Amino acid sequence: MTAFYYYLVLLNALVTFAAATVVFWRNRGVAVGPLLAAALVVHTGWLIGYANYLVPMAEPRALFWGRWTLSCAILGHPLLLHSMCAYVSENRRYRWWIGAAYLSGLALLVLLFKGLIVIGVKPSPYMDHYVRYNRSWYLPLVVHVTFWQCVGGVVLCRGIWQSVGYKRTQLVYFLVAWFLEFITINTIAVPLEYDINIPPVGLFVLPLNMAFVAYVMAKARLADYNVVIARLLLHALTLLVITVASLVSIAVMVAVAPRFMNPAQILFTLVQVIVIGLALAFALPRWLPRAERLMQERLFGGRYGYQDALASLVRELSRIATIDEVLSNVASTVHSQMQVTRVLIFMQDPLAGTYKVEAESGLNAQELAELTELPETSPVVTHLQLSKSVLVRDELPRRVSPDKAAELTADLNWLKAPVCVPMILDEKLVGMICIGEKASRDMFFVSDLRLLETLATEVALAVKYRRMEDQVFRKNKLISLGTMAAGIAHEVRNPLASIRTFAQLMPDRMDDPEFKNEFSQLVLKDVDRITKVIETMLAFARPSQVTIHEQTANEIVDEAVVLVQPRLKSKHINLTKQFHGNPVVKVDKQQILQVLINLITNAVDALPEQGRIRVSTGMRPADAVGAGNGDQKFALIEVADNGPGIPAGVRNRLFDPFFTTKKEGTGLGLSISQKIVRDHGGAITVSSIEGKGTTFQVNLPVS
């Protein structure tokens, strides 16, 4: 068994030396790198000396290795304290404590090499031999190897309390690693002097602990410790299940066969553990992510609350109407849900190239005035354009050169934002989300950064689509403007041509009474026609003044039918009303009457004599009106006729301004009706079958 422990200790020494190399290389530019690397090298020496306790040798040589091991232990603890103080950048504050630790170690080394501490060797159950101490000096030795470590632990705790972000998490991880190391080493060495023989099982943990130290000191972006803790607990629970299952089966076997510990039972146990392990290997990938998520939500529900809120915001972006609303919602949601000090959203000005603040949350007026825009040459902008990945201030010392890190840190400090997330679209930086410190002083974990990157990408896409929609809208407005201009020209040109002709004839026929009478009637008629076109055009173009009151749909229909009775009687049209309920709507009554009168009049014009019109009311679900209406309910007013129907080629142009199939029509009636209904938050839809009739549906939101 000692041979097994011997190679296990050498493996520990190798892992520790590798950790020392990584720590030095990744942190060589700061004081903690060389100091902690030196402490780990001394710890490697201690492990090599400890390995020699497991090898049979003569007493003089055993005493040499005993003094070697103890020297490394004495020297290692002041070095560890010194590196802890350097880690929190407090060497000056704790310089007297550091000096006292080195003096204490120096005094013990002198006593050791004078032969006053180690006086011989003795046998040990789990080793070939162990040193025999002088009890008079053993207590000061124990105080030295424990007290200075405890002081270092206090220094780390104080550093954690004062730090934020990445540094705070790194110190938390390092404190955990130090505590595990402290417990492991002291449970191996200290009890032996009091004849408490504990198997050195801690040697199985030390390689993982050293690898963890190397990870903490070398990694630029640390994993979320909530995830780590949840995984550790989950794996511990899994191990417990395997252990309990194995013990239960062994107990059953003992009851069945009292002489259990024979080769057959051992083989059975091994096969059982392999089978359970294989079963878990197949099962874990299926339920582990869900169980892990459940564990994290139970232990750290607050964090997953804001992550869920941001994920929900990503899904809702497509429903937000304007760019300003998109950016404002993102800024306020990130600020409130993540509990950060500030959020700034910069978007690139396509013409100037600069990045301007388009939305913010958490800034006062003075701060906002100082942060209006960033030039294209800004270090942060340049870095994000090149890297196209999230910029984290705490990661800079491990990702870029010192000069570049200083430039970027100065820019980020000016923004008071330790994290900047780029909005990349078509390989270009179109904007960025700059985020302040968390109120909890925690770092931005990997899960946070990934979610923010996803959010930034979705915001960039949402902005792109809104801009495309705006361009299409402006294009359509220009098309409508051209159509309207052409319609006005056509409607005005004919009357003006008549007026011009009569004006040219007027000098020659001034004394003709019949000409004067005809001229005056024609001019008045044509001027009235021009006036009507202009008034209708203005009604279509100007913002409508809507006076809203609660009205019942049935009453509006009754009044509209009364107003069109003369037209109905002139063509002997049969109009029937069908009321399915009596929905209440908030509308401008006169404007909705105008819509219904226009629809009924159009139906009358389309019908031959003795045709039929049906006007009905009722309710309609939102999804029947169109997407984006949520749970809003709509009242339906329907005008249907049994006329010839509308040809398919005409149907798509019904609501175009100045489009008409009537000889005397202006082509603005349906356009104005559609505008009125849209101003009320509703919509007009139409269905028609040639030869069977047409139905117009007026959908108005209920109050």
Residue 633: name the closest of 581, 561, 595, 576 by CA. Answer: 581
Whether the predicted pLDDT of 34 surpasses 90: yes
Q: Which of 92-106, 198-212, 339-353, 433-447 has the lowest mean pLDDT?
A: 198-212
pLDDT of the residue at 576: 92
pLDDT of the residue at 258: 67
**Per-residue pLDDT averaged across 224-248, rounded?**
61
* Helix or strand holding residue 253 (H, E): helix 225-256
Q: Which of 206-210, 400-404, 541-545 has the lowest mean pLDDT?
A: 541-545
- pLDDT class of 104 with cuts at 50, 70, 90: very high
Helix H, strand E, coil C: the string for 533-598 is HHHHHHHHHCCCCCCCEEEEHHHHHHHHHHHCHHHHHHCCCEEEEEECCCCEEEECHHHHHHHHHH
**In Å, how far are 349, 548, 597, 611, 619 from 644, measured between CA atoms?**
54, 36, 20, 10, 28
Whether the predicted pLDDT of 285 surpasses 60: no
Whether the predicted pLDDT of 53 surpasses 80: yes
Q: Which of 200-209, 397-406, 657-666 has the lowest mean pLDDT?
A: 657-666
Whether the predicted pLDDT of 703 surpasses 80: no
pLDDT of the residue at 124: 77
Whether the predicted pLDDT of 544 surpasses 60: no
- CB neighbours of residue 124 within 10 Å: 16
**Per-residue pLDDT averaged across 103-120, rounded?**
89
pLDDT of the residue at 627: 43
**In Å, how far are 141, 156, 193 from 123, measured between CA atoms?**
21, 38, 11
Q: How far apart are CA 629 and CA 491, in angstroms?
A: 38
Q: Is 510 helix (H, G, I), strand (E, B) or coil?
A: coil
pLDDT of the residue at 633: 81
Whether the predicted pLDDT of 230 surpasses 60: no
Percentage of the chain surpassing pLDDT 90? 19
CA dihedral 332, 338, 343, 349 (to 10 degrees): -80
pLDDT of the residue at 220: 67
Residue 526 backbone dihedrals phi, psi, to 5 degrees? -70, -35
Whether the predicted pLDDT of 521 surpasses 50: yes
Burial pattern 317-330, b for ≥16 Cβ within 10 A else e, equals: beebeebeebbbbb
Q: How far apart are CA 573 and CA 576, in angstroms?
A: 10
pLDDT of the residue at 420: 94
Spatial contact of 436 and 340, defined as CB atoms under 8 Å apart: yes
pLDDT of the residue at 71: 92
HSE, side-chain direction, 13 A CA sphere, residue 571: 20
Spatial contact of 208 and 180, defined as CB atoms under 8 Å apart: no
Residue 627 backbone dihedrals phi, psi, to 5 degrees? -70, 155
Q: Which of 182-186, 470-474, 680-684 has the lowest mean pLDDT?
A: 470-474
pLDDT of the residue at 434: 93
**268-272 contacts: CB < 8 A, separation 24 or more?**
272/246
Q: How far apart are CA 614 and CA 26, in angstroms?
A: 83
Q: Which residue has the higher pLDDT, 106 or 495?
A: 106
**291-296 contacts: CB < 8 A, separation 24 or more?**
291/234, 292/227, 292/230, 292/231, 292/234, 295/230, 295/233, 295/234, 296/226, 296/227, 296/230
- pLDDT class of 655 with cuts at 50, 70, 90: confident
> Which neighbouring-strand residues pair with 584?
552
- pLDDT class of 231 with cuts at 50, 70, 90: low
- CB neighbours of residue 576 within 10 Å: 11
Relative orientation angle of helices 135-162 and 59-87, to the nearest 10 degrees: 20
Q: How far apart are CA 388 and CA 314, in angstroms?
A: 20
User: If you average pLDDT over every residue of the chain, what do you get?
Assistant: 79
Whether the predicted pLDDT of 135 surpasses 50: yes
Residue 626 backbone dihedrals phi, psi, to 5 degrees? 160, 165
**Per-residue pLDDT averaged across 114-126, rounded?**
82
Whether the predicted pLDDT of 304 surpasses 70: no
**Per-residue pLDDT averaged across 322-347, rounded?**
87
Range from 252-256, 580-584, 649-653 that averages highest in pLDDT: 580-584
